Amino acid sequence: MAEVRNIDTRERILDAAERLFMAHGYEGTSMRQITGDAAVNLAAVNYHFGSKESLMQEVFRRRLDWLNEERMRVLNEMEQAAGDNPLKPSQIVDGFFGTLLRMADDKERGGVTFLRLLGRTLTEPSEFVRTFLADEYAGVMERYKAALFKALPDVPKAEIVWRFHFMLGATSYAIAGTDALRVVTDWQIEASDTVDRTDRLVPRLMSFLLGGLRAPLPQFGSPAEDADVKVA
């Protein structure tokens, strides 16, 4: 086979798609915008990826494969070092969310653009992307949930799952953040803060997440339903 007239046609499409899906969403981005931004022919997407849906999936797979492998690697390493002892919650949270957030500095892996795309996509339950993400995430989630159960034996498992969910939300906003934040505050605090995003954002968010994860358990009002939830 003749190898590639222009190696980075695929990559250029993926980069443009990542950027545009982040900015305007999946439905809000047209093939003509993508191929225009990438400076390739309109038919190139269908030739290289088959369809717009497949392109979207490839945009995610390119980043998530690495991310979830890295999360697995970090967790394995920590558990091996700990032996039979449970990990500290701060370790687990850092392994999952810290690994994600540190992608922001890694331009080679999409940087802040991909993180924002991921954050916004998690709240857009379009069927084909949801089932795709569910598959990509299933294994990692299972392992990290198990680690948290072991680290926090006194906290009901349902409570941990909920708090994991809350942590995901806080993290998504922290990422999608700088833009969405402006919605809600006039935001004149430190204009220089766009620079040191991860330097300061990561410890800030970590404190918040751990504070939430380890908060006192809630008191449920009505006695009828306070038998606590069992996890399957």
Q: Which of 4, 184, 189, 191 binds DNA (CB under 7 A)?
A: 4
Report the distance separating Cα 196 and Cα 132, nearest Å.
Answer: 33
Q: Which of 22, 45, 100, 112 binds DNA (CB under 7 A)?
A: 45
Question: DSSP string spanning 157-176?
Answer: HHHHHHHHHHHHHHHHHHHH
Q: Which of 17, 19, 29, 89 binds DNA (CB under 7 A)?
A: 29
Q: Which of 8, 11, 77, 190 binds a copy of itself (CB under 8 A)?
A: 190
Does residue 223 touch a copy of itself according to CB under 8 A? yes
Q: Which of 5, 80, 154, 185 binds a copy of itself (CB under 8 A)?
A: 185
Does residue 127 touch DNA according to CB under 7 A? no
Q: Which of 14, 20, 44, 75 binds DNA (CB under 7 A)?
A: 44
8 A C-beta contact, residue 137 and residue 68: yes
Does residue 154 touch a copy of itself according to CB under 8 A? no
Retrieve residue 23's tokens: 């900015």
Give the per-residue contact string, 9-28, with DNA (x = CB under 7 A; - = no). Answer: x-------------------
Does residue 51 touch a copy of itself according to CB under 8 A? no
Report the distance separating Cα 127 and Cα 116, nearest Å.
Answer: 20
Residue closer to a copy of itself by CB (options 15, 94) is 94
Does residue 81 touch a copy of itself according to CB under 8 A? no
Residue closer to DNA by CB (options 53, 159) is 53
Q: Provide long-range contacts, Cβ within 8 A and 24+ apart, for 16-23.
A: 17/55, 17/56, 17/59, 18/59, 18/110, 18/113, 18/114, 18/117, 19/113, 21/56, 21/59, 21/117, 21/121, 22/113, 22/114, 22/116, 22/117, 22/120
Q: Tally Cβ neighbours within 10 Å of residue 196.
A: 10
Scan residues 107-146 and list those touching a copy of itself (CB under 8 A): 119-120, 122-126, 130, 133-134, 137-138, 141-142, 145
8 A C-beta contact, residue 19 and residue 112: no
